[in-house]
Chain A
Amino acid sequence: SYELTQPPSVSVSPGQTASITCYGDVLGDKYVDWYQQKPGQSPVLVIFEDNRRPPGIPERFSGSNSGSTATLSISGTQVLDEADYYCQAWDSSTIVFGSGTRVTVL
């Protein structure tokens, strides 16, 4: 079965850029979405189709996907960006979530 691997945790200082990676076999051939989940809340879509932002998502969130790696970048990270982030890859027949990355802003 297809698997996506993310680092368990990423730490970033306020105002700096956080980069969260997602590895999968030939991942660049699939679309990748990113979801943010804060404690006790449902996930929220922050990036879809590799690099598109839904309405209402700040411009500091951006994404890329090439080769075997997709990356979510948060520039000018704020304390309110502290959350778990999940990548998700999909194609015509399946959808797979990554293992999730906890972003700590300190």
Chain B
Amino acid sequence: VHVVESGGGLVRPGGSLRLSCAVSGLTFRHAWMTWVRQAPGKGLEWLGRSKDRSNGGTIDYAAPVKGRFTISRDDEKDTLYLQMNSLKTEDTAVYYCTTLAYGSGTSNNWGQGTLVTVSS
């Protein structure tokens, strides 16, 4: 399984950014996926989870980002997205995409991460 994030970069406070996560080596339309971030020198923070269509395509969010961040997926392109709006300096972090073991919260494959820097 290969997970590759992209779309990171420098953005001004209040701006928006969309991250992409391309997955190969598994049947993406059946995959459960998450976004996790890590601020510089800090720990891991779970952002949200996307379940597959047979589980209603449910998306769960962590409270700190609910309403500002939106997770979506394109099963035809084997890609997961993270739309981030109203960005704040404290959103500066490496953003990881992970695959979950089916039906669980276990991240069994991680990407290399993409750095998002929110600064004026």
Contacts and interface: CB of A to CB of B under 8 A. Distances in A.
Nearest to B108: A45
Interface string B46-83: 10010000000000101100000000000000000000
B107 A86 contact: no
Contacts of A54: 108
Contact of A91 (B45, B101, B105, B107): B105
Q: Is the interface of A mostly helix, strand, loop or mixed?
A: strand
Nearest to B49: A95
Interface in B70-119: 96, 101, 104-108, 110-113
Contact of A95 (B46, B101, B108): B46
A99 interface: yes
Given A86-B44, A96-B46, A100-B44, A42 B113 contact: yes
B25 interface: no
Interface in A56-94: 84, 86, 88, 90-91, 93-94
B110 A42 contact: yes
Interface residues of A, number: 25
Contacts, number: 59
B contact residues, range? 20 to 34
B100 to A, nearest CB: 9
B44 A90 contact: no
A90 B106 contact: yes
A35 interface: yes
A97 B45 contact: yes
B60 A94 contact: yes
A77 to B, nearest CB: 22
A28 B45 CA distance: 21
A88 B110 contact: no
A33 B43 CA distance: 15
Given A35-B44, A48-B106, 20 more contacts: A31-B104, A31-B106, A37-B44, A42-B111, A42-B112, A43-B44, A43-B110, A48-B101, A48-B108, A54-B108, A88-B46, A88-B107, A90-B105, A90-B106, A93-B60, A94-B46, A97-B36, A97-B43, A97-B45, A100-B44
